[in-house]
Structure 1
Amino acid sequence: MSSRPSPQTDRVVAVVEMLAGAAGGLSQSEIARRLDATPATCYPTLAALERAGWLRRHPTRRTYALGPGLIAAGQAAAAGTDALSAGRALMADLHRRLGLSVVALVPAVEYATVAHLVVDPHGPRPVATLRVGDRIPFHPPLGATFMAWQPDAVVDAWLDRGAQDAADRAQYREILPVIRARGYSVELAASLDERIRRQVGAAAAANLRAQLPALLCELAAHLPHPADFVAGELDPAATYRVDSLSAAAFDAHGEVALILSLRGFDADLTGAEAAHVGAALRTATIALTADTAGRHPPPRTPENQPQALATTGLCLRHADRFGRG
């Protein structure tokens, strides 16, 4: 059963997300303009958030910024994700060795939240449109890494959100077991990739962060067929335009606790090269799962058991080939 809309609650969320991206704060009139509301309509929300300590108002400029009341909530949220705490150093190490940007995503049922970024701002394809706190909706094909480890009911609900074509649904059901067996997904740069980056970047620049999930859902609905966006079996000799590689770390219950995503590839990869980088990423998430007393889910069928990774002597630093992201 879907919940009823709550404009007041939506306004609170929009104000907090907006000010999270406004370093110098915003005036009441500027906040109202961005919310397409009147200053009088916004004032009760701003006043209540200020009383709670979630906002603070500058005494002379009269601008609003995030307040100290959010510090404890943010610290509690970060502390509640053991994999994220343990994974920060691991992400920095991956970035150093592979020369790629690393994004950490904390998943929920229908979306994932960007929790940490390790980015080279001078790289060929920086992850400039992403920011900690951004939500990525699980709308096909987005979310395939998470869905590869979910029960059929969760996968069905995911497909219902954006894969109405029977052929597309069948393709997803073929691709997800491949991701699960391989241990990581390979997301390809689709024909709408640059359009996505432009539109998301424009929304990010305007600090309209609350609009990003809906925008991503709209754009995902117009992406190509599944196999054009998420790679299935990799042909070692074939060439792939890779956008990202993603793998999951697991908690003590065998549930996905964190998704690490490598981005910033500045050149096409062969299937063998993509598998090489994927093996390094998968090795890292296996280590992260072990470090946090997590448990890898058992294989669903014997033929879908993940293959053992031969990691001894793996040369990770291939900056000339994989780029510095």
Structure 2
Amino acid sequence: MSARRSPQTERLTDVVDYLGGVAARATLTDVASALGVDKSTLHPMLAELTARGWVVRDPRTKAYRLGPALVRIGRVAQRRSPEFELIAEAVADLSAATGQPCCGVVTSGESMVVAELHGPRVVSAGSDMRPGDHITLQAPLGATVVAWETPNVVNRWLSGIVDRSVIGRHRQALAAVRGRRFGVAQYPSGVDRFEEMSPLVRPRRDARGAGVDGPVADMLVGDLDRSADYRALSVDAPVVGADARPIGVLCVLGEVVRSGADIAELGGFVRATADSVSRTVAGRGQASAANRLSRSG
């Protein structure tokens, strides 16, 4: 059952999200106009955020910007979730090694959250995609996470497919992901560039996450034909936690035609990078558990 939505809470988070995305400081009028909220409604929200240090207000220009309290919260999140930093570093390394835009996501319930984007084209090509965006685990999105999930989760993932005739193809793709430990997606019919994916997959900064529209049934690649050519959209591999289930995904994005052999090589490289992150996450977790035991002894 989905949680009941709270419009007031949504407005507060929208304010913080907007101030986190604008290039410069924003006035009350700027924020109200951007969010479509009346200034009389918005003013007490900004006053409360300012009182808590989440937002600061320039006494001269009256403009608002994010405040130091969020820096503290961000540092706490980084300390308590070491995979965020590790995934961000791995995304930067992948982008440098492949020359391609890359992204990293972390799992959150039955969705994924964008943790890092790297490479100049991924920002412009991904439209308004940015860290913090939710992407719902809805076929075909999130196959590299769902491939290791329970049958009930897989069935929920498949439940959004309108054309039931392609469900078997999606199940075969999940099996292929498990077998090679990396996923491959190609451009759907009629789509030639990354920018054109934006109308099909829309990042949303709310509890629903990204929606999926259009003819995307042929996105997932099952068994790779090493001699065939693919219009590769992404090649990704899971970062796994202590329970051997994915806690994140590293993804190389592309706009080039690649042979199946080239994709297999790239997939192996992404998989090795993700495995390295997984080992580091596991090592840090073991060290943390040992420290807790020593303190309690």
Length-normalised TM-score, structure 2: 0.85
1:106 matches 2:106? yes
Q: Which residue of 1 aligns with 2:295?
A: none
Q: Which residue of 2 aligns with 1:288?
A: 277
Q: Is the 8 A contact 2:32 2:38 kept in 1?
A: yes
Q: Select which of 173, 178, 181 maps to 2:171.
A: 173
Code of the residue aligned with 1:210 in structure 2: it is: R
Cα-to-partner distance string for 1:101-130 (whole Å, 9 max, x where unaligned):
2211111122212212331x279x865643
Q: Select which of 201, 219, 223 maps to 2:215.
A: 223
Q: Which residue of 2 aligns with 1:277?
A: 266
Code of the residue aligned with 2:259 in structure 1: it is: T
In 1, Cα distance between equivalents of 2:14 and 2:172: 38
Cα-to-partner distance string for 1:135-162 (whole Å, 9 max, x where unaligned):
22222211111111111122222223x2
Q: Which residue of 2 aligns with 1:138?
A: 137
Alignment of 1:39-54 (within 5 A): 39-54=39-54
Q: Which residue of 2 aligns with 1:308?
A: none
Report deviation, 1:262: 0.5
Q: Is the 8 A contact 2:91 2:116 kept in 1?
A: no
Q: Which residue of 1 aligns with 2:148?
A: 149
**Distance change in 2, residues 1:34/1:127 (3 Å):** closer
Q: Is the 8 A contact 1:101 1:126 kept in 2?
A: no
Alignment of 1:1-325 (within 5 A): 1-119=1-119, 121=120, 129-160=128-159, 162-190=160-188, 191-192=190-191, 194-197=195-198, 210=205, 216-217=210-211, 220-225=212-217, 228-263=218-253, 265-293=254-282
Code of the residue aligned with 2:143 in structure 1: it is: A
Report deviation, 1:275: 0.5
3-state SS of paired residue (2:166): helix
Note the aligned Cα RMSD (angstroms).
2.5
Q: Is the 8 A contact 2:233 2:255 kept in 1?
A: no
3-state SS of paired residue (1:292): helix
Cα-to-partner distance string for 1:234-275 (whole Å, 9 max, x where unaligned):
111111001111110111122212210011x34200111110
Q: Is the 8 A contact 1:18 1:210 kept in 2?
A: no
Higher RCO (Cα < 8 Å, 6 or more apart): 1
Report deviation, 1:84: 2.9
Unaligned runs of 5+ in 1: 295-325
Q: Is the 8 A contact 1:140 1:221 kept in 2?
A: no
**Distance change in 2, residues 1:50/1:91 (3 Å):** same
Code of the residue aligned with 1:274 in structure 2: it is: I
User: Which shows bigger deviation, 242-251 or 90-99?
Assistant: 90-99
Aligned length: 279
In 2, Cα distance between equivalents of 1:66 and 1:199: 32
3-state SS of paired residue (1:103): strand
Q: Percent identity?
A: 30
Q: Is the 8 A contact 1:103 1:114 kept in 2?
A: yes
User: Which shows bigger deviation, 99-108 or 86-95?
Assistant: 86-95
